[in-house]
Amino acid sequence: QSCDRLNVKYTGAITAPILFDTKKGVIVSNDSIDISWILAVEMAALHGDEWKAKGWDLFPEDWDEAHGALIKQAHAEVNTAVYGVNFATDQETYEAKLFAFWDKIKALDSEFS
């Protein structure tokens, strides 16, 4: 729908998150960390009292730099790795990217357990 509204003639699958401004008819961002930040901080500022009443806190203030670093690491090594696996053009590249992806998932799993 976003591509249609922008008159982009693309018929393939859209594989990225998109935050779309329906009033202005533009894509605000397609970066998942950026979208998370916008929802957690900027949108929360607009709806602060309502969200606080519901107990919503998408980015707790007590999160330290380690949490931010882990989020960035997971984004770089997990979220974007999925696209690398998906768009591999040969079997050898596919397997290398897939095994690296699962190695990172296992490492993160052991870190959290």
User: 82 with 101: CB under 8 angstroms?
Assistant: yes
* Higher pLDDT, residue 29 or 49: 29
- Residues ≥6 apart with Cβ < 8 Å to 42: none
Average pLDDT of the chain?
A: 78
Half-sphere exposure of 19 (CA within 13 A, CB side): 13
pLDDT at position 32? 76
Q: Where does the pLDDT of residue 92 fall: very low under 50, low under 70, confident under 90, or very high at 90 and above?
A: very high
pLDDT of residue 111: 75
d(CA 40, CA 48): 10
pTM for the full predicted model: 0.50
**pLDDT of 17 higher than 70:** yes
Under 8 Å between Cβ of 74 and 47: no
